[in-house]
Amino acid sequence: MDFALQHGFRLDHLEVHPLRGEIVRSDGPVHIQPKAMEVLVCLAEKPLQTVPRVDLLEVVWGISGQHDHHAEDNLTRCVSELRHALGDNPSDPHYIKTLPRVGYRLVEVPHLIDSSVDFAIGYDPYLEDDSPSDMVFDRPEVAGKSTALKQAHGPVTKPVWSIDRLLGEMQRRRVFRVAIGFPVIAWGFLEVADLLMEKIVALPDMTQTLVMQMLFVFLVLGYSLALYLAWVTQLTPEGVRVEPGARIPAIFRRGRLGWVAGGILLLVVVSMAIAIRFLGGDRANHVVCPSTIGVMPFANLNFASGDDYLGRQLSEEITGLLAAAGDLKVASRAAAFSLDTTDLSRREIGESLGACHLLEGSVRRAGDNLRVTAQLTNAGSGHTTWSATLDRQLSDLFVIHVEITRAVVRQLGVELYEGFDWVIARRSTGSAEAYDYYLQGRNVLAEAGDESQVQRADQLFERSLEFDFKYPRAWAGRCEANIEMYASSRSAHWQEAAEFYCREALVLDPSLADVRVMLARLLSMARLQDEALTEQTDTGVTGSNNPGL
As a three-state string, the secondary structure of 459-481 is: HHHHHHHHHCCCCHHHHHHHHHH
Residues 450 and 408 in one domain: no
| pLDDT of res. 547 | 40
| pLDDT of res. 541 | 38
Conformational region of residue 33, where left means phi above 0, alpha means psi within -120 to 50, and beta covers everything else: beta
Residues 362 and 476 in one domain: no
Residues 253 and 366 in one domain: no
Residue 327 lies in a domain: yes
E strand or H helix at 353 = helix 346-353
Strands 28-31 and 384-393: unpaired
Per-residue pLDDT reduced to its tens digit, 2-51 = 566 777 888 888 888 888 888 988 888 888 888 888 888 888 888 888 89
DSSP tag of 342: S
The better pLDDT of the pair 160, 234 is held by: 234
| Residue 138 reports pLDDT greater than 50 | no
Mean pLDDT lowest among 48-62, 88-102, 358-372, 523-537: 523-537
Burial class (CB in 10 A: 0-12, 13-18, 19+), 539: middle
Using CA atoms, how far apart are residues 81 and 87, in angstroms rounded to an integer?
A: 10
Among residues 281, 316, 345, which one ends one of the domains? 281
Highest average pLDDT, of 167-181, 223-237, 459-473, 522-536, comes from 459-473
CB 368 within 8 A of CB 349: no
CB 376 within 8 A of CB 384: yes
| Residue 449 reports pLDDT greater than 50 | yes
Residues 135 and 180 in one domain: no
Residues 459 and 446 in one domain: yes
Among residues 262, 281, 300, which one ends one of the domains? 281
The better pLDDT of the pair 3, 198 is held by: 198
Q: Across residues 282-308, what is the average pLDDT?
A: 66
| Residue 284 reports pLDDT greater than 70 | no
Amino acid at 217: V
In 289-394, which residue ranges form alpha helices assigned H by DSSP?
A: 309-325, 333-338, 346-353
E strand or H helix at 16 = strand 14-17
Residue 546 lies in a domain: no
Residues 37 and 146 in one domain: yes
Share of the chain above pLDDT 90, in %: 2
Domain hosting 416: range is 289-428
| pLDDT of res. 204 | 63
CB 261 within 8 A of CB 280: no
**Domain count for the chain:** 4
Using CA atoms, how far apart are residues 290 and 298, in angstroms rounded to an integer?
A: 24
E strand or H helix at 517 = helix 513-525
The better pLDDT of the pair 544, 58 is held by: 58
- Residue 304 sits in a domain of what CATH number? 3.40.50.10610
Residue 545 lies in a domain: no
Share of the chain above pLDDT 70, in %: 71
Highest average pLDDT, of 79-93, 106-120, 187-201, 245-259, comes from 79-93
Q: How many CA atoms lie within 13 A of 388 on its CB side?
A: 14
Residue 548 lies in a domain: no
| pLDDT of res. 307 | 65
Residue 93 lies in a domain: yes
- Residue 511 sits in a domain of what CATH number? 1.25.40.10
Alpha-carbon torsion (454, 457, 462, 468), positive or negative: negative
Highest average pLDDT, of 211-220, 492-501, 505-514, comes from 492-501
Residues 522 and 438 in one domain: yes
| pLDDT of res. 125 | 40
CB 68 within 8 A of CB 93: no
Amino acid at 398: F
Using CA atoms, how far apart are residues 211 and 205, in angstroms rounded to an integer?
A: 10
Residue 507 lies in a domain: yes
CB 78 within 8 A of CB 39: yes
In this prediction the pTM is 0.43
Residues 272 and 332 in one domain: no
| pLDDT of res. 286 | 42
CB 441 within 8 A of CB 460: yes
Highest average pLDDT, of 263-277, 285-299, 396-410, comes from 396-410
Mean pLDDT lowest among 21-30, 130-139, 311-320: 130-139
N-term to C-term CA, the chain: 82
Residue 547 lies in a domain: no
Under 8 Å CB-to-CB from 133, ≥6 apart: which residues? 122, 123, 124, 127
| Residue 489 reports pLDDT greater than 60 | yes
DSSP tag of 198: I
| pLDDT of res. 408 | 87
Per-chain mean pLDDT for the chain: 75
Residues 378 and 265 in one domain: no
Q: Exposed e or buried b for every residue in 522-531, given b needs 16+ CB within 10 A?
A: bbeebebeee
Using CA atoms, how far apart are residues 448 and 340, in angstroms rounded to an integer?
A: 18
| pLDDT of res. 162 | 59
DSSP tag of 59: H
Residues 157 and 9 in one domain: yes
Alpha-carbon torsion (404, 405, 406, 408), positive or negative: positive
CB 69 within 8 A of CB 33: no
Binned at pLDDT 50, 70 and 90, residue 249 comes out as: low
Q: Across residues 250-256, what is the average pLDDT?
A: 53
Per-residue pLDDT reduced to its tens digit, 328-382 = 888 887 788 777 767 788 888 888 888 888 888 888 887 778 888 999 888 877 7
Per-residue pLDDT reduced to its tens digit, 204-229 = 666 677 778 778 877 887 888 888 77
Under 8 Å CB-to-CB from 352, ≥6 apart: which residues? 335, 339, 344
Binned at pLDDT 50, 70 and 90, residue 104 comes out as: very high
DSSP tag of 199: I
Among residues 378, 411, 428, which one ends one of the domains? 428
Burial class (CB in 10 A: 0-12, 13-18, 19+), 15: middle
Residue 395 lies in a domain: yes
The alpha-carbon radius of gyration of the chain (Å, integer) is: 42
Using CA atoms, how far apart are residues 412 and 395, in angstroms rounded to an integer?
A: 28
Residues 323 and 435 in one domain: no
Count of helix runs (H) and strand runs (E) in the chain: 19, 16
Amino acid at 172: R
| pLDDT of res. 290 | 64
| pLDDT of res. 64 | 61
Residue 198: phi and psi, rounded to 5, are: -85, -45
Residues 24 and 104 in one domain: yes
